[in-house]
Chains A and B, each alone.
Chain A
Amino acid sequence: MRGLRLIRFIMTRLLQAIPVVLGVVVLNFLLLQLAPGDAATVLAGEAGGAPPEYVEQLRARFGLDKPVLVQLGLYLKNILLLDLGFSFRNNAPVLGLILDRLWPTLLLMGATLLVSVGGGVMLGVIAALGVRTWRDHLISVAAVIAYATPLFWIGLMLILVFSIRLDWFPTSGMEDVVAFHEGWARVVDIAHHLVLPTITLSLFYLALYTRLMRATVLEQRGAEYATTARAKGLTERAITLRHVLRNALLPVITMAGVQVGALLGGSVVVETVFAWPGLGQLAYQSLFARDFNLLLGIFFLSACLVVIVNIIVDVVYVLLDPRIRVGGKT
């Protein structure tokens, strides 16, 4: 019964997501029209200048000579058929280009989420359990510092210290392309490359979740049901693990769900700093090449990603909190 309702809930949310994603596409399309220049001028410029007739010819070939609304209509029609168009810059279909870059970004995001939520929850609990001890002070001060430091600066400093001075981690890229690792050796190599970008991207969120978790654990430990648990003769450890932790997790998960979108934005900076071959880097490059088809494709996929992650968070929430009912009364 509960399972059926959950499926119904997911279906409803997916249906509701369609207009949201289409709205995002239209908005992005119109916003990009405001950017000066187009792919034709960039291509012509890189060729060292070209006669205006040639530029016009390029525009006609790319379909850039048609009115904006006609272009938008064509684009929307293609999106509905899941055809993301062709990247003239890279001379390849957009979908293929994006899918190639998707999994490095998902890997980076997944690792970051794991480190920031997992680590934040752990550090928050440790700080809250030893409130006003040296552990709490240490964690809280470190969190404030991490919270206040800009992302790119952390990235550069980590490269400077751990790659250049200590030579512990590679400076850039996702794997050692000349080593031709295979199987486990490749996994290890990628993991090795993943360390610095993940740390850079997750430090801010780690700090945020640590502070949030510390506050909610403290609040929940003072709640009446914790006193009830104490009056039942439970140890402090059992009270924390069984009763407090799950209640305190709820706000952290809400927060994490909201911030997945911001994580994508942050990955543009980090992927650029670490030359991580992900969507963020691709977006950065395509922006400068005025490769709007590719850029719109990336935006479209990001919107889908955020929508899907939000649904996942909602489902997790429903599973964690029995008070939340989905789709109708019992």
Chain B
Amino acid sequence: MADFLTVLSEYDIAGAYWVNIKLTFFAGIFALVLGTILAMFRISPVPSLNFAGSTYVNILRNTPLTIIIVFGIAVLWPVLKVEFSDVFAVNFFWLGVLGLTVYHAAFFCEALRSGVNTVPAGQAEAARAIGLPFLDSARLVILPQAFRGAIAPLGNVVIALIKNTTVVAAGSVAEISILMREMVENESNYVYLIFLTVAVGFVIIVVPVGLLATYLSKRLAVSR
């Protein structure tokens, strides 16, 4: 066991996890913004925007994330000359963020939309009946309830995003799964312990997020 600890200390595990956390942070924010726009498209009573939103969502969420990431590093950068930086590592990082963003935006959109769907039609009818115009009924009645209903699915998307940051290994971003691969190749005797260490790291990151989402969604639940 002491041997294993010295092996561990030779690798920058915390640094690799930090990359995953940064990926989660940036991709999460961008995907939430894009997902919100898509959700507005899908909810609006405008056919062309509906079409754009639902086409995007249906295509992106049926595409493997791995293909999207590979597309970034094998097509966007070398073929279509999309470049974020001269430094390879930085460029790959942002290509990874881009891939994670376009993929998870579809799921953020669906999470938000399912939140809106939890609001019964009677709420909107009541808001109109007491004379609230569109913006007021959206702001005061519908969206607050919709947001509360969306917490649980949003939590799920964030958890999925955290786990999916490992997929950017396909885009040569030096994060935890690449470090882990290096470790199991060099120290194959310790495969089980290395796996447990990395896995427990994810449990430590993911479980609190899950607990928080469950707690919030219960606490803020609209009683009906």
Pair from one complex:
no
